[in-house]
């Protein structure tokens, strides 16, 4: 039988709390980024067919100009009655991320 003393038990609970907080922050970040993308698409009259978050491959956006709290998506969009087009979308600003900015940068793929 394992017996934990006070410090070990506190460490385990601390690690679990930190992991839970990190997961909650990631979910919040993900939700904010998706909201920015959806708002941009709606404002510009597009229907999102597919949106894939990209964490390593940033497409046309440089890792030098993209902050950690920004979100990058590869997106397939359909304009009203139009043909599906693809683009790269970066949500947020370098220092404000998606929490403090509704900025959206778009780079269209060539047809």
CA distance 4 to 21: 24
pTM over 0.75: yes
For the chain, domain boundaries: 6-108
Q: Are 59 and 53 in contact (CB under 8 A)?
A: no
pLDDT tens digits, residue range 20-73?
Answer: 888 998 888 888 999 999 999 999 999 999 999 998 889 999 989 998 889 999
Cα→Cα distances 89→10, 32, 60, 70, Å: 43, 14, 10, 10
DSSP 73-105: EEEEEE-TTS--EEEEEEESBTTTBTTS---EE
């Amino acid at each position: 039988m394992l017996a934990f003393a006070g410090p070990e038990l506190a460490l385990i609970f601390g690690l679990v709390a930190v992991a839970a907080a990190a997961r909650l922050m990631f979910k919040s970040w993900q939700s904010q980024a998706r909201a920015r993308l959806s708002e941009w698409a709606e404002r510009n009259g597009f229907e999102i067919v597919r949106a894939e978050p990209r964490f390593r491959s940033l497409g046309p956006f440089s890792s030098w100009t993209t902050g950690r709290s920004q979100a990058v998506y590869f997106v397939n969009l359909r304009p009203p009655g139009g043909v599906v087009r693809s683009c790269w979308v970066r949500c947020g600003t370098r220092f404000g991320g998606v929490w403090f900015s509704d900025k959206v940068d778009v780079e269209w793929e060539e047809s």
